[in-house]
Structure 1
Amino acid sequence: MNPLVAVLLKNWFLCGIVLFILLAWADPEIGKKETIILKSLKGGPLHPEITVKYFAVGFIFFNSGLSLKSEELKRAVMQVKLHIFVQSFTLLFVPVFMYFFKSVLAKVTPLDPWLLSGLTVVSCMPPPVSSAVILTKAVGGNEAAAIFNSAFGSFLGIIATPLLLLTFMGESAAMSFGTIFAQLSVTVVIPLICGQILRQFVKEWLEVRKPPFGEMSSFMLLMIIYTTFCDTFLSPHLKIDPYSLITVAVIIFCLQVSFIASTFWLSQLACFGFNAKDTVAIMFTATHKSLTLGIPMLKIIYSGSDHLSLLSIPLLCYHPTQILLGGCLVPSVQKWMSSKLRQVAPDI
């Protein structure tokens, strides 16, 4: 096999990310979703508001439920120390840090104050229900812990996010808890349970055949990336001066690198007792923020506000950046984790 082809096949996911972003840039109308936020009452032919929001995300968690051993999920639920670490970092440390960091940026940059406040808004958002799980699965980390913390963090965020925004932004509004709970149940809980139930009937077949669960979920993530960038390229929220947009993008990238590095270092401290697979799950679940839940929350909390577009820009930048950065880190993190596992168990 040609060496170049071999390299491309080995890194097919990273190549896929680049390809799907280019496709989204070439014709974003195909993957746009039907949403008032993007001022487009009619979605593209892919209808991501249904196919991605329900089918793709639902498939990811059905796939996880089907591939995940029940005993591993039960064990993950009992990892209370890990859950406290993840939720404390993403819903406590990050908002507090960002509040003070924003104050510093306000003094050293000419960026619009509401644009900077958008960074605080991002920090108050809950974790996503798909990307962190897929990246953890792609590396081979503690997928069960990633699933639990993504789902639990999303439910917790429905209450925590408005309270955090009230604390740090002084803005609040009544949230449609029932609607968001229903969406999370349909896209996360029910598919996961269905996958676990089906697994009980086909467990032996799965052990023999070993279907490519990771690859199937990774392809679904590519679809999510594609539709996310279609919306990003079409979004009127991004119509600001290039300097501000580039500056915010650089700040967000640096913040994500810092958060990932911090969780990577902290999770390896002996006092926590986490293993390499736990570290992988922590790195992604504790540092990712949800666009799917975040935009509807912003739309409700800041309904009618003239500053909604500026507040939304950092979140719109944060979401694709976390997927891109995570996807690029997969090979390196996978190599590190394999090395750590061999040190613990040389026969692996």
Structure 2
Amino acid sequence: MRAKEIIKRNWFLCGILGCILAAEVFPSLGKTGGLLKPEWTVKYGAVGIIFLTSGLSLSINDVLAAGSKYRLHLFIQTFTFVCIPIMILIFNLVLNNIMGINEWILKGLATVSCMPPPVSSAVILTKAVGGNEAAAVFNSVIGSFLGIIITPLTLLFFLGSTAIISVLNSVVMLGQTVVIPLLLGLAIRHFRIIRNLKLLPLSTVGQSLLLFIIYTTFCDAFVTHDIPMNATDVLISVVLVVVIQIGLLYISFHISLYLKWYSPGDVVAITFCSTHKSLTLGVPILRILFSGYAHFSQITLPLLIYHPTQIILGGLMVPPFKKWMMQKKSG
């Protein structure tokens, strides 16, 4: 019974481990172009439903209240688009001068630092902890739209290269996958089209869809065999990405806690939203910038590692964050 209780209490973390194992055993099922068609089911299905459930669980007043928290939005967007690129630039200079790390791996880290926040993982993790979901939704949407303009400009500044991104196509995609489902969920809740919304397992649905995203992400990772680099480069990339993410999570959490402007729920939203990076926008940009380069796989690897790592670390943080939130509420 003890083991069952532990698994039940930590089902999301167990689900992450199960998804990684399933992806290794059955990678062809969830890879891009596979039977599950993640290029459609994830992009337009899972992400859309995640924001639909967010709209169903929020009131319009919650969203308006979240929108008025300018200090919270300013912190998240500044940390995402300004602080992280600067910190990674300094980090890369130190690594290059002291350790002589492969310059293309360092360029990959710099590219990751310029990416906007994702539109799903930060929201689901914030909701799983019980943080300020409305603020997470608001900043994920705003950050994605800002990334269409800011990300190419920061890439131009830090790497000396830029990408031609179709702003119209990006806006249409974000509208279809994020804005429309979110507004639909808000409308259903506001006009009470569905009665007894509290009886619906919205949080469980969202976390289950995130597990589906994790599975398909690792399926693509396991079927990719065209990384012409030695084991040392791969190991170094993994270690650097993990160290960077832990450092960013620590910094964003403690700075937001120190400022005293934010509630515990706000701190949770800040920690996840300001440190997560988007694979959806990142991969197309990298393909535009470096496709055909001899070192393309080396510069892409950090972003491919960053995406699942942020979800795994986030999943590990859910139980202690919940405990911390309960202590704050009771204290």
2:47 match: 57
TM-superposed CA distance for 1:178, in Å, is 1.4
Matched, 1:251 2:210: no
Cα deviation 1:30-65 (Å, max 9, x = unaligned)? 1001xxxxxxxxx11000001111100000000100
Matched, 1:334 2:322: yes
TM-superposed CA distance for 1:237, in Å, is 5.4
Cα deviation 1:307-331 (Å, max 9, x = unaligned)? 3222111000000000000001100
Structure 1 Cα separation of the partners of residues 196 and 255 of structure 2? 36
Contact 2:228 2:297 in 1 (8 A): no
Distance change (3 Å), C-alpha of 1:116 and 1:156: same
Contact 2:108 2:300 in 1 (8 A): yes
Cα deviation 1:276-316 (Å, max 9, x = unaligned)? 00000000000000001110121123344333222111000
Contact 1:263 1:282 in 2 (8 A): yes
**Count of equivalent residues:** 331
Amino acid at match of 2:112: V
Contact 1:237 1:310 in 2 (8 A): no
Cα deviation 1:8-31 (Å, max 9, x = unaligned)? 111111111101100001121110
Matched, 1:67 2:54: no
Amino acid at match of 1:253: V
Matched position secondary structure for 2:275? coil
TM-superposed CA distance for 1:239, in Å, is 4.3
TM-superposed CA distance for 1:234, in Å, is 1.6
2:11 match: 12
1:346 match: none
Distance change (3 Å), C-alpha of 1:338 and 1:236: same
Which piece of structure 1 moves more, 283-292 or 193-202?
193-202
Structure 2 Cα separation of the partners of residues 261 and 297 of structure 1? 28
- Aligned CA RMSD, in angstroms, stands at 1.4
TM-superposed CA distance for 1:204, in Å, is 7.9
Q: TM-score, normalised by structure 2?
A: 0.97
Contact 1:238 1:245 in 2 (8 A): no
Contact 2:7 2:14 in 1 (8 A): yes
Amino acid at match of 1:180: S
Matched position secondary structure for 2:29? coil
Cα deviation 1:139-160 (Å, max 9, x = unaligned)? 0000000001111001101111
Aligned identity (percent) is 47
1:142 match: 132
2:209 match: 220
Matched, 1:232 2:231: no
Matched, 1:323 2:311: yes
Q: Which runs of 4+ in 1 moved over 6 A?
A: none
Matched, 1:314 2:302: yes
2:103 match: 113
Contact 1:90 1:127 in 2 (8 A): yes
Structure 2 Cα separation of the partners of residues 184 and 302 of structure 1? 24
Pick one of 269, 279, 287 that aligns with 1:291: 279
Amino acid at match of 1:5: K
Matched, 1:273 2:272: no
Q: What are the within-5 Å matches in structure 2 for residues 17-28 of structure 1?
A: 17-28=16-27
Structure 2 Cα separation of the partners of residues 247 and 85 of structure 1? 30
Amino acid at match of 1:247: I
Pick one of 73, 76, 82 that aligns with 2:72: 82
Matched position secondary structure for 1:205? coil
Structure 2 Cα separation of the partners of residues 338 and 239 of structure 1? 48
Distance change (3 Å), C-alpha of 1:101 and 1:147: same
1:37 match: none
Distance change (3 Å), C-alpha of 1:330 and 1:239: farther
Contact 2:59 2:190 in 1 (8 A): no
Identify which of structures 1 and 2 has the higher relative contact order when contacts are C-alpha pairs closer than 8 Å and 6+ apart: 2
| Unaligned runs of at least 5 residues, structure 2 | none
